[in-house]
Structure formats: C-alpha cells, structure tokens
Structure 1
Amino acid sequence: MNSEIKILPLLPLRGILVFPYMVIHLDVGREKSVQAIEEAMIQDRVIFLATQKEAQTDDPGEDDIYKIGTVAEVKQLLKLPGGTIRVLVEGIARAKARRFISDEPYFQVEIEQYSEDFQKTSEIEALMRSLIYQFEQYVKLSKRIPPETVVSVVNLEEPGRLADIIASHLSLRLEDKQNILEAVNIIQRLEKLCAIVAKELEIVELERKINIRVRKQMEKTQKEYYLREQMKAIQRELGEKDERMAEGEELREKIAEAKLPKEVEEKAIKEVERLEKMPPMAAEAAVVRNYLDWLLALPWNKSTRDRLDIKSAENILEEDHYGLKTVKERILEYLAIRKLAKKMKGPIICFVGPPGVGKTSLGRSIARALERKFIRMSLGGVRDEAEIRGHRRTYVGAMPGRIIQGIRQAGSKNPVFLLDEIDKMSMDFRGDPSAALLEVLDPEQNNTFSDHYIEAAFDLSNVMFITTANLQHNIPRPLQDRMEIIYLSGYTEEEKVQIAMRYLLPKQIKEHGLDKSMLKMTENTIRKVIREYTRESGVRNLERQIATVCRKTARQIVSDKVKKVQVTPLNINQFLGTPRFRYGVAEQDDQVGVATGLAWTEVGGDTLAIEVTIYKGNGKLTLTGKLGDVMKESAQAGYSYIRSRAVELGIDEEYYDKQDIHIHIPEGAIPKDGPSAGISMACALASAITGRKVRHDVAMTGEITLRGRVLPVGGIKEKVLAAHRAGIKTIIMPKDNKKDLDEIPKKVKDKMHFVLVEHMDQVLDEALTEKEFEPVDLSDTSPVVPQPPAYQPAVINEGGAHIPS
C-alpha cells in the first residue's frame, strides 16, 4: 500500500463519519469549519474529514479528533440563511493526520494519504463472497435498505470499495464505523465488516421472530393492541414482568398492609381487578388509580392517643389563653369523661362571639392540650355542596370533599377539626352546604359519613368538631340543634391588659426581630392604648396597635442607633398618633333630652346616644338615624306611653298638638335595629317634654310596652362591658334579666350599680334628676295597668346592629 504526504485543511465532523466513495451533504456552521471549507475551495477543493470523539464538544482540540479520516472533494457549496454552509462532499481515500500544523483560523494538518494496491487472492475472494451474501440476507430481513443497493454492490470488483460502501449503508455505532475506517489492511477490513454484519443479521433475525410471534396473537384491526403485545414479547425475551400485573400485585400488597375495613377492602380489590383488565393508557385507568390512592391514604384505623392528664391539659390551656373559664371547663370535662368512658363520641362545640376574642386560636390550643392533630377549614363563602361531600367519580377532575381531604391531611381518624365561620355559608343552584353538614355534625349519623367520591362509610364519630361563628342567628336552626353553643363575650379592660402583657406583646416583639431588652411597655401604657386607641370586644385591633409600636421601635433602633426604647403613657402618642377615642364616652353633664342606651352588635356591646328635641309644630313625631322597623315601633310605643302619663308628668293635654318631636340617634349612616332601646327613647322623650335632666352616668336597656311594662332583652354581658368601657357607673335593666348578671366578671360587677326595673315609672324615677310625678302603683291589680303578655325573654339581634366598635 502506497502513501502520499499532503497539507490540507481539516473539517471536524460531529456524530457522522464519511467513508471513501461516499457522497453526502454536510451542514457546516462553526467558524473554523466554515473557514476550512473556504480555504479548500480556494485551493483544489480537497479537504480532510475526521470525526470528533465526543459530538457535544463545540471547540475540539487535537486530542478530541480521531487521527484516521477521509480525504474528500467538495462537489457543491450552498450558503444558507444564518451563516450555515451546506456542502456536498465525496470521499476519495483514507488518510492519517500525522501532525497538526495550526488551529487558527482553521485546523491545518499534514496528512498521509493511503492508496489501495491489492492482489485478489482466494482469501479476499472468499471474504468478499461471504460479505455479499450476509449483506443480501440483511437487506431481505431488515427492509431498511432498498434492494437496488444490493445489485450495485454485487457488481463491485474492488474489495476495499465493496467494504466501504456496505459499511456506509449499515446503521452502525460511530465507534464501529471508525474501526472499519481505521482498518487500512483490506483483509482486516473485510473480516471486521463480516463480523459486524453477522451480528446485525442475528439482531434482525430476532426482531423477525418477535414480529412473527406477535402477529399470531394480534387482531388485524387493533394497532394499539399489536404495539402492546410487541412490548410484552420483548419483555418476555428480557425476562421482565408485565407492567400491569406488577402494578396489580403491588396494590394488593398495599391493601393487605393497610388493614382496611372489610367492605372497603372488598371495594378496593374489585377496583384493582378492573384496573388489570383496562388498557394502561385508558383514561379511566387514571381515575381508578387516583381512587385507590385515596382509599389507601385515608386513616381508616389510625388514631392518636389522647393526653388524658387533666392537670397538664389545664396548664396548656392557661398558657395559650387568658380567661375563657367556661370553655376551659368544658374541655377538661370532656377529658375527664374520656378517662372514664373510652368509647365516648367526639363532641360538637360551637364558639359564638365577636371577632378577635380567640375562637380560632382556642381550637388550636384544644388540639395541643389533647395531643391531637389539628385541621382548620374555613366555611366563609362556601356555596357548593360538593365542598363538603365531594364530587362523584363520573365528573372530570372529581375529588373528595374537604372533610375527607382534612382527615387525610391529619393522618388520623380523631383530629380536632375546626370549621371556621360556619355562619357565613351561603347556597346557590349547586346545593346547600349547610344541609350537607348535618350529617357531619350529627353524632348519631357521622359514624357512617359517606363522601360522594369515596363511596364508602367513614367513621367521623371520633373527630372533635369545633365550629366558630360571629352571629348565632345566622347559623341554620337544624345545625344549631346538633351543636353545643358556648358564648365568648368581649374581654374586660383588665383581661385585655393581661392578654397584651402575656401574649400579644411578646409575640409582636419576636415577630419584629426585637428582644425583650429593646422595648419596654408598662401595664399603664397598655391600658391607655386600650382606652384611647381601640374600642372593640376582642384584642385584634389592640394587637395591631402593639405591632405599630414595634415597627416604630425597630426603625428607631436601626436608624437612630438606640439600644432601648421605653414606651410610656406620656409618649405613646409619638408612636400611635392622636388618640382616636375618648375614654368614657358617657356624657360629661346631666342634659335634657339626651339618654344613653346600650346596644348589642356583631363585634360586642356599645353605647347608644339618644337625643330628643322639641319645637313648635302640630304634633308630628320624626325619627332619624337610619332606624329599623323594630326600633321605630319601640319609639312609637314610648311616645304613646309618655302621652298616656301626661297628667302624672305634669304635661298640658294640648301640648302634643302644638309641638313637634324629633328623635335622633347619631351616626345616621349606620343601620340600627332591635328592641333594646325602648326604655332609653321613652326616657329621653320624658326628659325633653318635662325639661328634667337625665343623669349622665346612667345607661339603660330594655323594651317597653304601651302600658309601661319593661320586657327583658338579650346581650346583657356585652352591653354591661360596653358601659364599663364607657365609664358608666349605673345600669338600668329589666328585672327578668337578673339571671344574666351571673355571666358578668366580678371585677366589673363590683364597680357598677345595677337597677332592676319592671315598669317605666321606675326607670324615670331612677334616670331623671327630679321626682315630681306620682309613680304607678305596681301592686294595683286594676285593669289600668294589666300584667304584661307572655314574651320570649331572649332575643338574638338586640338593638344597634352593625354599629362598629
């Protein structure tokens, strides 16, 4: 074999190899490669083609390129958009790169080009015949190479050219092609190629056998089935298990380990059998898998162990919340019963109270005291029944309801489950979620709660359900019947001080990146914040004010480089600005025609100023202040009573025909309604007409009848706390509400004087500063003052609704 030394530009190839006599298009884009092509075109259109060892290398070096390559002639050149060049090259001969002369601006190498001189011996002839026969068999079996190629190959007399052309037609790995290219000796080349073709022939023969086996099992019209069976045949050849069978076995093992209830286990096994019969890619298969995942994930038999140490639970409740004696006693009673009766059903408790009194956080504390998992679900704005009971599996994207989702999230079947804002649910065409909750919150039914998605009874009787609401009358009556309602009224000033010092202040100091030494606030400072910057039943706004102090403290520490900030009653306005409320909203002096009423609102109790003025007219009664129907009727009843007592009050009978009366309740943009202000309006009317002053330190609540009887009202505790906040010392209230005084904290009760009345004359006697009329004789049984009719002593929506604190 002869050789010839040349210096040529080098074009590195990525993922492709060019044999001698091979004609192929190449797309050239790298800068060095483009310049190598241009240099070849300037010379005699000859270039050296060598393959990179790694196709991913963008800037190959000398060691990254095979030394054996092909000298080729550039036949055509076409410039494409983007700077890429498409060239048509034809391989001429093998060559070896002896040395790299330069690598800039393109690779230039000194090559040794080989020319093939051969003598056709018997050995070469035998190798050529064997190679041609194997190639013919390969073409017949593979169907990948056109039969015309065999005809052109058979007529070749040159053994080297025969080997190169056959190698170029085979789909071989790049390493195998490079081995053939590097076989400069013709006999070695033919032998290597014979071995490779024989191996490829075996692979093609195995593929043919698999295809024959698959065809026997498939139906002609089922292409998908054919592909699946082909995969199965391949798996059998490899000794692997069928995917569906393996999945079914795995699911059965999980079902056995989960120890499901008998009915649920049978249902799960049936679903596994259905899954095994389905095609793997069927849409319903994904639905079944998702359903089985939910069945296996639910804690059918998993539960946490309750902490039955009452003393420890009591300490935890005291740590987390100040006051709330009734709630804490109820939880400790439940623990005591659990210790005696192991199978007691979980209670359904409803906390009703104004915002910010700790209803939601109390549920979390109960879970911590019991050492149970805690799940919270907000029902505010929920309108769809499926939110509770889930969707049926026939719907696209179906999933269980939020009750089952919460149980799965908890990982136990006895968590503390808080249903927040139960009074703020609504309903539409998709169903009534409050009706769906009946089954959840009924201790007699929830042991077999059925979710539309799960379709199997789940026992909720061990779950401790706690619900919260701001207004009891917004909770549907059937739901109220299933719950034990515990009222959380507003906090007293002393309770707020303690809550702020024990919980709110340390919490906000920590959240704002401070420590106890950086910020000091005394109890007196907190008390001033409560009196002059907040007016609420809860402590949410108080916490916001403390957070404001912490933010300004943090800024002072960072900006002014101070180490400690002392907040006192004298400098609190530097942090919170001008006080927003006046401590003690009661009137400063006794006035004519101005009485202080007490109202119950969604955020607790509040005081209600009632003003009456009289001017010349024709006996017209005007009511303003955006009053509801109930309040207007109370005003009319009070007006009629005062007119009926004209003689006793010393009023001229013609007085009402010559004067107009105007009753007004300030803050006219705020709706007010309810029966609580009856005696307050009557008292203000009596004061304005008679000219006698109303005591400024007296507040009153109660409904009035036409004959002057005072009827009981609701919300006494909230109203008393509001009066206490306002600095009022005396409260006039119906005698039938005496029982409600037991709920009022002792510290508040000791500071106030309560006047219990049965008749309006007693109210006027106590509230007006002068006593110049003859009060009615309550012992008189004559028909002039009849006994009041039967009434309901508790009314939920007491007067002054929607008045903010």
Structure 2
Amino acid sequence: MSKETKSLPMVALRGLTVLPGMVRHFDVSREKSLAAINEAVEGDQKIFLTAQRDIEVADPSGADVYQVGCIATIRQIVKLPKKISRVLISGEERAAINCIEFEEPYLRANVTVIPDTDRQEETAGADQGLGKEAMLRGLRDVFREYAAKEPKVSKEIGSQIEGMEDLRELVDLVAANVPFSWEDAQELLEEEDLTSRYELLIYKLVKEIQILNVKEEIQIKVKERVDKNQREYILREELKLIREELGDDTMLSDADEFQQAADALEAPEEVKEKLNKEIKRFRNTVNSPAETGVIRTYIETLLEMPWDKMCEEHKDIAYASQVLEEDHYGLEKVKERVLEFLAVRALTKKGDTPILCLVGPPGTGKTSIARSLARALKKPYVRISLGGVRDEAEIRGHRRTYVGAMPGRIANGLKAAGVKNPLMLLDEIDKVSNDYKGDTFSALLEVLDSEQNCKFRDHYLEVPIDLSEVLFITTANTLQTIPRPLLDRMEVIEVSSYTENEKMHIAMEHLIPKQLDKHGLTADQLTISKKALWKMARNYTKEAGVRQLERKIGDICRKTAKEILEGKKKAVHITERNLASYLGKELFIYQMANESDEVGIVRGLAWTSVGGDTLQIEVNVMPGEGEILLTGQMGDVMKESARTGISYIRSVSKKHRIAEDFFKEHDVHIHIPEGAVPKDGPSAGITMATAMFSAITGRKVRSDVAMTGEITLRGRVLPIGGLKEKLLAAKSAGIKTVLVPKENEPDVEEISSEITRGLEIVFVSQMEEVLKLALVKRRGSHDH
C-alpha cells in the first residue's frame, strides 16, 4: 500500500506539540512563519506543524525540528499589535518529513502521512473485540480518576468520552485534552502503533494522577499548619484549666497581671470602671491578635498615667528666691510673680495654680526661666514644643478607632512626669498653626482654662484627666498671633530686652563660665575685660537677648583653645584693643546723634524684634505740583501717618505764616534711609510731621532730640509701645532729650533708673509742644 505524500508550508513551533484532534491557538511573530501561514491561507488552509528541538533557536532549519509533526487546518487568524498574528488550528493527521523543499521566504516541506497501525489486529476476531473493549473501559476509568482531581478538564470532554466506541478516536481525544508537557505530547505523536500509544498514554495519565495526589497531600499539610495556632490556643486554655484545678497559679496570664495592677492603682472610680471593662474585653479577644494588641496598649497607657499620684509641694520661699537669683540676672517681675504664687500656696495650702505666659524677644531666657522654676519648686519638668503644631490631635490625642492612635502631647507629658502636678512648659505657643485637621488654638483653650482643665478629655484615653494641679508656663515671642480667648486665660508677663549693663552681668556671671566649661578652659586660661564685653554687646551683636553674645564668647573660646594647644600662648586676655583679632571687624555701628542742628532731619525711635533702634527721617521740599513722595520701604501705617502729618501742617499753615499756595507749588519728599529694610508701625507720626514742618518752614531741628509717638489730624499725640527698647536705643545713640507721649508716663515710671539715667524725658500731648521743644528757636522770636 503506497503512502500519501504532500507538499505543505511548514511552521516550527517553540514549546508546543500539536496532536491529531487538538484544537488550539498559538501566536506567530517570525517572518518565515507568517509567510508560511499566509501561503497556507491562500491555498487549501493546510499547514504542517512540528516542534523545535531547541526553543532558543531563532531561525530553525530542517535539522532543528522533529521529523514527525501534524498536518493541521487553519480555522482563524487574528492580527495583534507589534506584527503578531494569533492562529487557530485543528490537528488532523500525523506526518513525517521526507525533505525540506526550500527555506526562503518560508519553510516548505515534503511530508508523508503516517497511517495508524495496530499490532492487536493480528489476533482472532472474538479476542480482538474483547481486547478493544477492555482498553476502552480502562482508559475511561483512568481519565475519570484524573478528571476528578484536575479542575482544568471540562465536563463536556468527560461526557464526550463516555459515548465514544472507537479506540483510536478516544486515545487522540484524551491525549489532546490533557495538559501534558510538549515533550510528552511529542512522544505520543511519534508513536505509530495504536496499542503502544494507548499504553504510553495510560502510563502518563497515571503519572499525572500520582503528581496530583502528592500535591493534594502537601496542601493538606499546609492547612494543618495554618490551623496550628487555633490548636495551640485550645491547648493553652486546657493547660490553664489544669493549673487552676491543681491550685498552681504561679504563672499568671497577662489579663490577671493587668487586673492586679488595676486593683492596686490609685485612680478615680470612673477610670477604674473603664480599666475593668477593657480588661474583660482583653480576656475575651485572646484569639484575635490584632484587636488584642490595641486593647493591650490602651490598658498599659491607662495604668501608666499618674491619676492621683502627686509630688510633695516645696514651699520654701527663701530657697526658691536663691535658685532664681543664681540662674538669672534681672527679670524682677517674673521672679516676684513666682514668689507671690509660692506665698499664696504656703498660706492657703491650695490656691489657684496660675497659667503664666512669658512674652519677649528671642534669647531673653524665657525657656530657661521655666527650667529654673521647676528646680526652685522641686517639681518634675516637662517641656512641650508647640512650634508648627497644626493637628488638633497633637493636643487632644487620636480617637481609638484610628490605626496607630495614641494620646496627645499633654497626656504624654503627664505620663513622662509620673505625677499629676508637674511644671509643664508649652514652648512657642504663638507659633501654633491651624489647618483642615482642626483648630489647635481652640484645643488649647480647655487645657489652659483653670475652670475647665480639671476635666480635660483626651480623645484616646476617653476618661477625664485633672490638669488643675499642673503649673503651666507658656512662652511666646509676640502676642499678635495668639487669639484673644486664649490670651484671656493666661497671665502675661513681659520679658523685655536686656540693657547693655544687664548683658554685661549675664555674660560675666553665666555665659563666660558656661562657655569655658563647654570648651575645656579654665578662668586662668581665658579672661575677658569689661570693656571688651561692652564692645561685644554693642558692636558685634544686635539683639534683645544674649544668644549672639554667647556665640561670640564661644568663638573666642575656640580660638583660645587652638592657640593654647599649638603652644603659642599659655593664657589669653581679651581687651577692647585685641578683640578685633579674635572676632574680626565690627558688625554693627550705632548711628550716633548728629553733631549739628539741621533742617528737615529728625531722629525717631523704633521697636524691632531684636530690641530698639533709632530711625533718621529726612524731608526735602522742592518746586512741583503739591505731590507727597514716600521712599525707604514704608508700610501702609507709616504712609498714612505721613499723610496725616502733612494734613495737620496744612491746617496750621496760616498760624505759622506758611504761604497759601506753598502746597500747590511744592513737592514734599519723605525718605527713611536703609531702603532695603521694610519699616512699618504707628509710632513715627510726630517724627515725620516735625521733619516736614522743619523742611517747609526752614527751621532747624535740635540734633540732641529724639521722639516717638503717633499723630492725629488735630495734632494730638497718641501713645506707643516698646518704650523700654526705644529709650535704650536713644541712650546708645547719645541722645540727650526724648519726647514721649503723655499717656506713656506710667510706662516710664516702671522702667529702671539704669535706663533713664542721663536722659531728659519730656512728655507731650499736642503737636505744638513737640514743635516748640524740637525746633531751634529763631533769634528774637517768641513762641505763642
């Protein structure tokens, strides 16, 4: 019998063997393969498919493929992106390659169709029929067992197999629908004898069933290990019960330990009830690790809080006074207020705990005062920095429903102190900010209100905390950013700028010893004269406090340490003369009073964040059209003061014999030097008015006079703030006479004589008085 040969386009498949009866799709991207597919589609849809021996070969030839493959019919082609085609085929007949007819532009092979043979056909007819039936039943049984364990096999294939009576078709159908590897499928494809192919298929199916059995056993073991935790819990509970029966209670559970701690805790009844309730919940959630951890943390936090634990009140006023004097020079108001608080506590045994707010420029010792107070009162000291805090939960705590919830800073501060009556410093309260997470200032209202803070509620703790015993000290650089309701609850004590004399004392008594110790030097190795300290305070620093001065002393200490180690000197003595060799050139030169009286130049006084300063205001009058020019980076308030001043001068022009058309024919230019520095504030009104009046009338202004105050349209002089710093600046500039608003007279009385000594302070209430005192009198003239 002659075998049928065919000439067909050929595609070499990577990692895939197609069997007769198999319907599946594969992707084609190689140009040769695409060309072969196209050629087959244009013909009779027939194509020869064979597997590559090595899937890594990119351009296979006849030697790179298996000789036995499958003739298939192309059913569908789908074009995909990136020049890829998805081809759907159905396998039909086995075939072997005779030769490769050509390899370009695609592979074309001459193949011979392999007919099925069966060695059992040689047996007798009756026996042959029994053998076929046995083989059919055996394959069905094995496939049923496989299908029961492998969910990938569809039910339709199972029902289709049950009705098949042809052994060859059954073998091909089972082989095509079991997910064998492509190597196993190639073995089945190359087997020509039906009986041998049947035996090979049965062997491979049984092998797959064994693999599935092993996989199932592994899954069962994994499940057993997952259930181990539950089993251990049951065993622990049994062990606990056995111990209780035997009376062996040496190993207490966590819940029992918590219960013992709760029973021993000194706390209000409400707290105890909450604790007992949570411990009960803890006992009932042992098998839920996530919930157990949350409850455990909450119980531990409640147990650590100092509910009724207090430190002993120290009421020795003499000791407190001694500590405050040791740690700080000056600051009389603060010291006096604290000693008053102690006196009240000593007499009444209780007394309201005040909430003090220390307000002043940076570096004036506000934070260190709080630390000294804690030492003087022998109280635990807790510092809470509020700078930049914008989340209300930072103060009140997070609610326990949130992941990672914790108490607020106030509750944590109490926990850290360990007592309910510590000294708690709320630092930088003016730098608290708000955002969408809540109003932090409003949260502080409850903390700092003596009427409310006895029942302060932290969102995390959920039970009231008594803050009435806490001595709260707050610090701020300015009161402008603190809301009025919060400010109303605090007793404000101003910590003002230090005088140069105070800076000298602070440097000698505190800063120099501190820096010597920090840099490993002794008092014999480095000495600094008073004149050198004076010059450092005046010409190397410009501040209200002493931070920069301390840094400059630190600079000298470092350079001294280097010189001593290099062996250049054994000891260093800093004087006014050699100061520049250690600190470099002078950084600040005070603008001293003018040597002579001039027209249109007046010395004003200003308050800055680093203390006081003098402000020279210059005015020129020139021909023009009545414009007022303002330069020197003035703010809106100063511009309004200038316009008010010119309006006042125009209103009294007839009295002072100023020509009626003067303001129509002249421009007035007001300038404040240092144009790069922004200036604003309501205290330069009379200064600008005096300078404009001097320039318009041509009368000179006394060079030894400085002034501060706001002006109204009718010439009244209004009060100002920051008087102490302004008087310090005037004294430093060599001013003899200072004009101050009449309403500021009480402020002057509170300023120490050290500052006012040598200054003639004149109180004024009307602009006429200012002009009379500031302008140089004309010869032979009489002031009305």
Note if contact 2:544-2:609 (Cα within 8 Å) is conserved in structure 1: no
SS of 1:649's partner is: coil
Contact 1:717 1:743 in 2 (8 A): no
Residue in structure 1 matched with residue 235 of structure 2 by the alignment: 230
1:349 alignment counterpart = 356
8 Å Cα contact 1:421/1:468 also seen in 2: yes
Secondary structure of the residue aligned to 1:627 is: coil
The answer as to 2:601 corresponding to 1:594 is: yes
1:575 and 2:572 aligned: no
The secondary structure found in structure 1 opposite 2:713 is coil
Is 1:305 aligned to residue 312 of structure 2? yes
Q: CA deviation at 1:298?
A: 0.9
* Superposed displacement of residue 233, structure 1: 4.4
- Alpha-carbon shift at residue 724 of structure 1 (Å): 2.1
1:713-724 pair list within 5 angstroms: 713-724=720-731
Contact 1:303 1:413 in 2 (8 A): yes
Distance in 2 (CA, whole Å) between partners of 1:241 and 1:697 is 94
In structure 2, what is the Cα distance between the partners aligned to 1:297 and 1:775? 81
Match of 1:690 among 683, 691, 697: 697
**Offset of residue 337 of structure 1:** 0.5
User: Which whole-Å CA distance do the structure 1 matches of 2:442 and 2:593 have between them?
Assistant: 45
Which residue does the alignment assign to 1:318?
325
Q: Deviations over 1:240-277 (max 9, x none)?
A: 97999611111111112222211101110111110001
Residue 554, structure 1, aligned to residue 544, structure 2: no
Aligned to 2:711: 704
Equivalent position of 1:499 in the other structure:
506
Please show how residues 281-430 of structure 1 align to structure 2 within 5 Å: 281-430=288-437
Name 2:764's counterpart in structure 1. Answer: 757
Query: Does residue 470 of the first structure (1) align with residue 457 of the second (2)?
Result: no
Q: Distance in 2 between matches of 1:347 and 1:698?
A: 43
Does the CA contact (< 8 Å) of 2:632 and 2:672 recur in 1?
yes
CA distance 1:244–1:670, shift in 2 (3 Å): farther
Shift of 1:478: 0.5
Give the aligned partner of residue 22 of structure 2. none
CA contact (8 A) 1:597 1:608 kept: yes
- Give, in angstroms, the shift of residue 707 of structure 1: 1.9
- The alignment's TM-score, normalised by the length of structure 1, stands at 0.67
Which residues in structure 2 correspond to 1:719-738 (within 5 Å)?
719-738=726-745
- In structure 2, the CA distance between the partners of 1:417 and 1:602, relative to structure 1 (3 Å rule), is same
How high is the TM-score relative to the length of structure 2? 0.69
Q: Aligned-pair RMSD on alpha carbons? A: 2.3
Aligned to 2:278: 271
Task: Single out whichever of 410-419 and 297-306 deviates more from structure 2.
Answer: 297-306
Structure 2 CA distance for aligned equivalents of residues 440 and 775 of structure 1 = 64
Is the partner of 2:450 in helix, strand or coil? Answer: coil
3-state SS, counterpart of residue 449 of structure 2: coil
Residues 70-124 of structure 1, C-alpha deviation per residue, up to 9 Å, x if partnerless?
A: xxxxxxxxxxxxxxxxxxxxxxxxxxxxxxxxxxxxxxxxxxxxxxxxxxxxxxx
Larger radius of gyration between Structure 1 and Structure 2: 2
Residues 426 and 241 (structure 1 numbering): CA distance in 2 closer, same or farther, change over 3 Å?
farther
2:385–2:428 contact (8 Å) kept in structure 1: yes
CA distance in 2, matches of 1:714, 1:594: 23
Amino acid at match of 2:325: E
Q: Write out aligned runs for 1:482-521 (5 A).
A: 482-521=489-528
The 3-state SS of whatever aligns with 1:473 is: coil
| Structure 1 residue 407 displacement after superposition | 0.7
Q: Distance in 2 between matches of 1:225 and 1:505?
A: 68
Answer whether contact 1:761 1:775 (CA < 8 A) is retained.
Answer: no
C-alpha distance in structure 2 between counterparts of 1:553 and 1:693, whole Å = 51
Report the equivalent of 1:4: none
Give, in whole Å, the separation in 1 of the partners of 2:405 and 2:348. Answer: 39
Residue equivalent to 2:613 = 606
Is 1:443 the counterpart of 2:450 in the alignment? yes
Instruction: Give the structure 2 partner of residue 537 of structure 1.
Output: 544
- Deviation for aligned residue 1:336: 0.4
- How far apart are 1:587 and its partner, in Å? 2.9
Q: Which residue of structure 2 lines up, in the alignment, with residue 649 of structure 1?
A: 656
Question: What SS class does the counterpart of residue 585 from structure 1 fall into?
Answer: coil
Question: What does residue range 91-102 of structure 1 map to in structure 2 within 5 Å?
Answer: none
Shift of 1:589: 3.1
**Range that drifts further, 768-777 or 608-617:** 768-777
Q: CA deviation at 1:530?
A: 1.0
Deviation, 1:745, is 1.2
Residue 144 of structure 1 corresponds to: none
Please state how far the C-alpha of 1:561 moved relative to its aligned partner. 4.0
- For 2:441, the equivalent position in structure 1 comes to 434
Supply the AA of the counterpart residue of 2:316.
D
Counterpart check, 1:479 vs 2:483: no
Inter-CA distance 714–583: structure 2 relative to 1 (3 Å threshold)? closer
Q: Is the 8 A contact 1:426 1:433 kept in 2?
A: yes
Q: Structure 1 residues 528-537 or 584-593, which shifts more?
A: 584-593
Distance 1:583 1:499 in 2: 22
The one-character-per-residue Cα deviations of 1:696-717 (angstroms, maximum 9, x if unpaired) are 2211111111221112222222
Taking the aligned partners of 1:254 and 1:733, their CA distance within structure 2 comes to 66
Look up the match of 1:67. none
Cα distance, 1:610–1:540 mapped onto 2, change above 3 Å: same
Q: Are the equivalent residues in 1 in contact too, given 2:266–2:309 (CA < 8 A)?
A: no
Aligned residue number for residue 524 of structure 1: 531
**Alpha-carbon distance between aligned partners in 2 of 1:712 and 1:684, rounded to the nearest angstrom:** 19
Contact 1:702–1:711 (CA<8 Å) still a contact in 2? yes
- Contact 2:772-2:783 at 8 Å conserved across structures: no
**Counterparts of 1:556 and 1:281 in 2: how far apart (Å)?**
68
> SS where residue 474 of structure 1 aligns?
coil
Aligned partners of 1:309 and 1:247: how far apart in 2? 45
Matched, 1:564 2:571: yes
Q: Indicate whether 1:766 and 2:773 are aligned.
A: yes
Q: 1:240 to 1:602 in 2, by over 3 A?
A: farther
How many residue pairs match? The answer is: 559
Where do 5+ consecutive residues of structure 2 fail to align?
A: 1-223
State the distance in 1 between where 2:266 and 2:715 align.
71
SS at match of 1:250: helix
**Cα offset, 1:719, TM superposition:** 1.6
Matches within 5 A, 1:184-195: none
Partner SS for 1:480? helix
Residue identity over aligned pairs, in percent, reads 53
Shift of residue 653, structure 1, vs aligned partner: 2.3
Q: Which residue of 1 aligns with 2:185?
A: none
Q: Which amino acid aligns with 1:617?
A: G
Could you say which residue in structure 2 is the equivalent of 1:250?
Answer: 257
Are positions 1:677 and 2:684 aligned together? yes
Give 1:667 deviation, angstroms: 2.5
3-state SS of paired residue (2:480): helix
Residue in 2 that maps onto 1:87: none
For 2:267, the equivalent position in structure 1 comes to 260
Do the aligned partners of residues 645 and 270 (structure 1) sit closer, same or farther apart at CA in structure 2, a change above 3 Å counting?
same
SS in 2 for 1:382: coil
- CA distance in 2: counterparts of 1:300 and 1:612, whole angstroms: 67
- On the 8 A contact 2:428/2:476 being kept in 1, the answer is yes
Could you tell me how far apart the structure 2 residues matched to 1:655 and 1:683 are? 17
Contact preservation (8 Å) 2:363, 2:546: yes
On the 8 A contact 2:591/2:614 being kept in 1, the answer is no
Structure 1 counterpart of 2:230, one-letter code: Y
Q: Match of 1:322, as an amino acid?
A: Y
Q: Distance in 2 between matches of 1:331 and 1:639?
A: 49
Q: Is the 8 A contact 1:638 1:704 kept in 2?
A: yes
Please name the residue that 1:86 is paired with: none
Deviation at residue 694 of structure 1 after TM alignment = 1.8
